[in-house]
Amino acid sequence: MEIASENIRKQFPVLNQEVYGKPYVYLDNAATTQKPLSVINSITEFYKNYNSNVHRGVHYLSQKSTELFENTRDRVQKFINAPGREEIIFTRGTTESINLVAHSFSYAFLNPGDEILITAMEHHSNMVPWRMVAEQKDVTVRFVPFLKSGELDLDAYREMLSEKTRIVALGHVSNALGTIHPVKEMIDAAHQKDIPVLVDGAQAVPHMQVDVQDLDCDFYCFSAHKMYGPTGVGVLYGKKEWMEKLPPYQGGGEMIDSVTLDEITYNEVPYKFEAGTPNVADIVAFGEAVRFLENVGFETLAGHEKFLLESCEEKLNQIPDIRMYGQAARKSGVVSFLVGDIHPYDMGTLIDKMGIAVRTGYHCAQPVMEFYKIPGTLRASVGIYNTMEDIDRLVEAVKKAKQMLS
């Protein structure tokens, strides 16, 4: 059911404005979420009182900034139930986390003739890096197909796992369709053949409690900005046994133990993968975003979003010529649709003029749109601060835009 959201909404100043003379409705949360005051104020507080580089100084500010920085690592570890804090590596986002694994893994473990298995539903950030390393290493990328419902073909997946498969990379939740994939089952099937699995969790962590030990994934990637935190910050969870075997992704300060003119020895995990000065202020603020989600609680969050999504689909389905994409039995986060033959950009532009933000296009998932033979969709995605009034405004806007464009 819907939560009493006024106390939550007032924590997000960007929502308290008018756009084109109308109260703002923000339904583009799958692209990025808005930020609560606690996160915004944390960034200001850091620069006002604690700004210093981390790990490298004995003076007060350096010690204090290091403490705040590492507190976020501890909080994230507990948040996803990682076994050790050293398995939490800070990156610039999901994209960099995946690139880190793709390039380091390919350098150490891929040889000509090997195969990488991903799904045909992946966001480009979990497709392009693997295609790039495949070209460099002369290996093959294979794609697990999906059904018209937006669900993966699990029988095909099991058949495609082979002695040539070196790694599996798959999304936890589809950003284009909202499908929640059975990742635990898929991980287990891969592990039965001693194949490691990377999970792109960018669209999962904001909506559900993720337990990496329960999933038993080898790598899990996500971004702060999709979970009410700052942009430019992400996490790579990697099992320690893997991260110790992988070579560094980037070289520079902090990731070394010692450097001489003859030899380099690398730092321990996680610092081996955190070259250079990190985005300290935003990583500290990320800890506040995690705290915000913990205070809301995932049971409350999931119930609220489920109510809004089901209501949105039900009301949109009453509009003649509506076409819904992604009808999986288990969904999260998004409603993806078209109306008749109206181009999504045209309808999205009109909806914007009514003070409502939705995403239009192929959502960095072009193969998904090619499968359905469409140019893209309109995508409405909900967050903790959305209300039934937002859903009703969207539905009325779609009706009005349809009348204008038909």
Show which residues are catalytic.
364
Beta partners for residue 364, in sequence order: none
3-state secondary structure string across 132-158? HHHHHHCCEEEEECECCCCCECHHHHH
Nearest to 219 by CA among 204, 200, 198: 198
Please, are residues 104 and 248 in contact by the beta-carbon 8 Å criterion?
Answer: yes
Whether the Cβ atoms of residue 256 and residue 264 lie closer than 8 Å to each other = yes
Residue 168 and residue 118 in contact, taking contact as beta carbons nearer than 8 Å: yes
At how many degrees (to 10) do helices 280-296 and 37-49 cross?
150
CB neighbourhood size of 378 (10 A): 26
The angle at the Cα of 70, spanning 67 to 71, to the nearest 5 degrees, equals: 80
Q: Which of 333, 90, 106 is nearest to 227 (CA)?
A: 333
Task: Specify the 3-state DSSP secondary structure of 280.
Answer: helix
234 three-class SS: strand
**Strand locations in 152-291, DSSP E?**
165-171, 197-200, 219-223, 234-238, 256-259, 264-266
Name, in order, each residue with C-beta under 8 angstroms of 218's C-beta and a sequence gap of 6 or more: 196, 197, 198, 238, 239, 242
Q: Where does residue 143 rank: exposed (0-12), middle (13-18), buried (19+ CB within 10 A)?
A: middle
Strands 322-325 and 219-223: unpaired
